[in-house]
Amino acid sequence: MTEQPTCAVCGSKVPPDEDHVHVVANAKRMRDRDGREDYYAHPSCWREETAEWRDPA
């Protein structure tokens, strides 16, 4: 059995066989190694969290 990721917004498990959002955050650093973090969220949690975000430039 594979471990289920945790929702970055509500903290509940995100079943991989159901609709979900997968966000890859890349931190670009000029004087250090770049970093990558993966986040998962339920679609409803993601919509609520990002409702007031602006479109990317």
Encode pLDDT of 20-29 as tens digits: 999 999 988 8
What pTM was estimated for this model as a whole? 0.78
pLDDT given at position 33: 82
Residue 13 lies in a domain: yes
Q: Which residues neighbour 2 within 8 Å (Cβ) at sequence distance 6 or greater?
A: 16
Confidence class for position 56, pLDDT limits 50, 70, 90: confident
pLDDT given at position 29: 85
Residue 57 lies in a domain: no
- CA dist 41 and 24 (Å) reads 12
Angle at 8 between CA 15 and CA 44, to 5 degrees: 65
pLDDT given at position 32: 84
User: Could you give the number of structural domains in the chain?
Assistant: 1
Domain region containing 15:
1-51
Residue 9 lies in a domain: yes
Residue 4 lies in a domain: yes
Residue 56 lies in a domain: no
Residue 18 lies in a domain: yes
